[in-house]
């Protein structure tokens, strides 16, 4: 049996059904100084197989997390439902799923996979807020034998569901770490940004990074040329509190960045287009990744700051056939539903529908700023001029005159439709700011919006585009 995860603070853990199962350990303890309801499924006679007794202990730990208002943290190394118990074991992990579903959006839920996580219980990973996987761990619903039997394809367990697969391909893993100790550290890091439950605000930390400092590095990072690439994380690192950026799912849908961070000591959720990957376009995976993150931040009172630099949705027949409309709507819906303070900064390009879904004024954001070089329009000036005046330009025989006319029309379009000052006149942007002022402007807006509260009428739930 693996060594127990050490507590970081001084209080002795309080056991939960300590003698119920040899494959389950559960207790109330502290991780990183935060009270949590903790459990581990591993070892025992059948490699952490989930049976009736063990499921009762884990279910009780989850329910205690709900009742005491503390995060639920679990470590898994399980071979699935205990086949020696038959159908009762299936119902046992079903009760765990029900408990985690009840906890969703009420208390933070985090699972760490430190070995095996297969069969039906692997679906538990899809129910929680954050999943951490160690590098040698793996998870899948149907194993290699089933895959070969049904499809004829021979695949080993690591190719089927390794941490690498869930890091970059499926997006199940928010973090991949080296070992159990690193997994415990990752859990503690995430909890630092979160409240203990949904009825309180996240903890504010002392911060020695001056809130009024200039963002010289951020200003220098974004190229003036609309097609030039850069890493948006360089902007985020400079605008936000030093060393506070904690990116989730960095290898999955890397054309969009989702991260936890702090601004003037306040935890915030960050969504940003990533121009260095797929030019910052939004595809199905990026939309789903960002939508789930926005929904999570809203559930736990984390203000959202969105950094926009996107030329639009990624085009493609395959994307449309796979449901770009439905999945793109997930991000629209998540932002439209979010009631936490929502701030937005347009760094450079903000074109078309992709601009709207990145928390535009039309979706109800609370404060929107733009840098002076931002382009806010249906599309880029060059493409728009080609559509609007293509025949006219093509009819000019002399090349120099044709190029001059094209340049003049581009300038006219940018002046009338693209520049942020026109957007500000129409109320789509609250302020055009000097890039060096981004940090202090965001911090000031966040401070003023911190008392925002949800005033929407209560309902059972919305019917979002899942």
What pLDDT, in 10s, does the model give residues 211-268? 999 999 999 999 988 889 999 999 999 999 999 999 999 999 999 999 999 999 999 9
- Whether 308 is in a domain gets the answer yes
CA angle 423, 427, 430 (to 5 degrees): 85
Residue with the two structure tokens 């190394």? 77
Indicate whether 178 and 245 sit together in one domain: no
CA angle at 13 for the pair 302 and 10, rounded to the nearest 5° = 75
- Give a yes or no: residue 404 inside a domain: no
Lookup: tokens for 84: 């020696």
Half-sphere exposure of 289 (CA within 13 A, CB side): 30
Does residue 224 fall inside a structural domain?
yes
Give 261's strand partners.
268
- Please check whether residue 47 lies inside any domain of the structure: yes
3-state secondary structure of 35: strand
pLDDT on residue 4: 43
| Closest to 134 measured CA to CA, from 170, 171, 173 | 173
Looking at the fold, whether 231 and 182 belong to one and the same domain comes out as: no
If asked whether residues 35 and 71 sit together in one domain, one would say yes
Q: What is the DSSP string of 327-371?
A: HHHHHHHHHHH--S-EEEEEEEEEEHHHHHHTT-GGGT-SEEEE-
Query: Same domain for 63 and 109?
Result: yes
Output the pLDDT for position 99.
95
Residue 10: the pLDDT is 57
Examine the domain organization and report whether 236 and 99 are in the same domain: no
Residues 231, 369, single domain; the answer is yes
State the distance between the two ends of the chain, measured CA to CA, in whole angstroms.
Answer: 39
β-pairing, 246-248 with 256-263? antiparallel
Going from the C-alpha of 171 to that of each of 157, 338, 453, the distances in angstroms are 18, 22, 31
Identify whether residues 174 and 222 lie together within a single domain. Answer: no
Q: Are 77 and 116 in contact (CB under 8 A)?
A: yes
Quick one: which of 121, 61, 72, 69 has its CA closest to 97?
A: 121
Q: Say how many domains are in the chain.
A: 2
DSSP-derived 3-state class of residue 333 = helix
63 and 163 together in one domain: yes
Question: Does residue 459 belong to any structural domain of this protein?
Answer: no
Rounded (to 5) percent helix, strand, coil in the chain: 40, 20, 40
Q: Is residue 344 part of a domain?
A: yes
Same domain, 233 and 367: yes
CATH of the domain at 338: 3.90.226.10
**What domain range is 77 assigned to?**
14-191
337 with 423, same domain: the answer is yes
At 176 the three-state DSSP class reads: strand
What pLDDT is recorded for position 393?
78
Q: How many CB atoms lie within 10 A of CB 362?
A: 13
Instruction: Give the DSSP per-residue string, 432-449.
Output: E--GGGHHHHHHHHHHHH
Q: Does 386 fall in a domain?
A: no
DSSP-assigned letter for residue 4: P
How would you class 312 by CB atoms within 10 Å of its CB: exposed for 0-12, middle for 13-18, buried for 19 or more?
Answer: buried
Give the pLDDT score at 5: 44
Distance CA 251, CA 228 (A): 22
Q: State the Cα–Cα distance between residues 462 and 453, nearest whole angstrom.
A: 19
- Torsion angle, alpha carbons of 95, 99, 102, 103, to 10: -160
Q: Are residues 245 and 151 in the same domain?
A: no
Long-range contact pairs involving 150-158 (C-beta distance under 8 Å, separation at least 24): none
CA 410, CA 20: separation in Å to the nearest integer? Answer: 73
Low-confidence ranges of the chain (pLDDT < 50): 1-9
CA–centroid distance for 397 within its chain: 52
Q: Which residue is listed with tokens 């160690």?
A: 134
Q: How far apart are CA 123 and CA 132, in angstroms?
A: 14
Tokens of 55: 């499921």
Q: What is the pLDDT of residue 221?
A: 98
| 288 SS3 class | helix
Q: Which two tokens stand for residue 172?
A: 């199940």
**CA pair distance 222, 217, nearest whole angstrom:** 9
List C-alpha distances in Å: 384 to 133, 155, 280.
46, 49, 20
Whether 302 is covered by a domain: the verdict is: yes
Residues 178 and 231 in one domain: no
């Amino acid at each position: 049996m693996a060594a127990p995860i050490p507590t970081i603070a001084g209080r002795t853990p309080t056991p939960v059904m300590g003698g119920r199962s040899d494959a389950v350990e559960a207790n109330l303890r502290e991780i990183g100084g935060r009270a949590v309801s903790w459990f581990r499924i591993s070892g025992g006679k059948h490699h952490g197989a989930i049976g009736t007794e063990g499921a009762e202990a884990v279910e009780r730990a989850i329910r205690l997390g709900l009742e005491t208002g503390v995060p639920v943290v679990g470590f898994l190394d399980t071979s699935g439902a205990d086949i020696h118990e038959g159908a009762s074991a299936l119902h046992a992990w079903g009760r765990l799923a029900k408990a985690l579903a009840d906890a969703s959006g009420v208390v933070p839920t985090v699972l760490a996979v430190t070995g095996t996580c297969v069969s039906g219980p692997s679906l538990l990973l899809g129910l929680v807020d954050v999943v951490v996987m160690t590098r040698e761990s793996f998870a899948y619903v149907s194993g290699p034998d089933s895959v070969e039997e049904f499809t004829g394809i021979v695949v080993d367990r690591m190719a089927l569901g390794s941490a690498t697969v869930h890091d970059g391909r499926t997006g199940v893993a928010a973090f991949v770490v080296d070992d159990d100790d690193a997994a415990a550290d990752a859990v503690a890091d995430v909890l630092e940004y979160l409240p203990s439950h949904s009825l309180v605000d996240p903890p504010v930390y002392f911060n020695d990074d001056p809130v009024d400092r200039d963002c010289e590095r951020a200003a220098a990072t974004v190229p003036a040329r609309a097609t030039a690439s850069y890493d948006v994380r360089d902007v985020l690192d400079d605008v936000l509190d030093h060393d506070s950026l904690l990116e989730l799912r960095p290898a999955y849908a890397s054309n969009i960045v989702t991260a936890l961070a702090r601004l003037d000591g306040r935890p915030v959720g960050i969504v940003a287009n990533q121009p260095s990957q797929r030019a910052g376009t939004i595809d199905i995976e990026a939309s789903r990744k960002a939508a789930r993150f926005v929904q999570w931040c809203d559930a736990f009172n984390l203000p959202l700051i969105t950094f926009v630099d996107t030329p639009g949705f990624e085009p493609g027949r395959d994307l449309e056939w796979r449901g770009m409309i439905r999945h793109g709507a997930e991000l629209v819906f998540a932002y439209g539903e979010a009631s936490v303070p929502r701030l937005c900064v347009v760094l450079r390009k903000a074109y078309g529908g992709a601009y709207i879904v990145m928390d535009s004024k039309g979706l109800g954001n609370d404060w929107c700023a733009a840098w002076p070089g931002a382009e806010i329009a249906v599309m880029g000036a060059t493409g728009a001029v080609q559509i609007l005046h293509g025949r006219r330009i093509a009819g000019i025989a002399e090349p120099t005159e044709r190029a001059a006319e094209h340049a003049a029309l581009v300038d006219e379009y940018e002046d009338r439709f693209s520049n942020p000052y026109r957007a500000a006149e129409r109320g789509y942007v609250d302020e055009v700011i000097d890039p060096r002022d981004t940090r202090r402007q965001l911090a000031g807006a966040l401070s003023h919006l911190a008392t925002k509260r949800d005033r929407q009428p209560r309902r059972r739930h919305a019917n979002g585009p899942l």
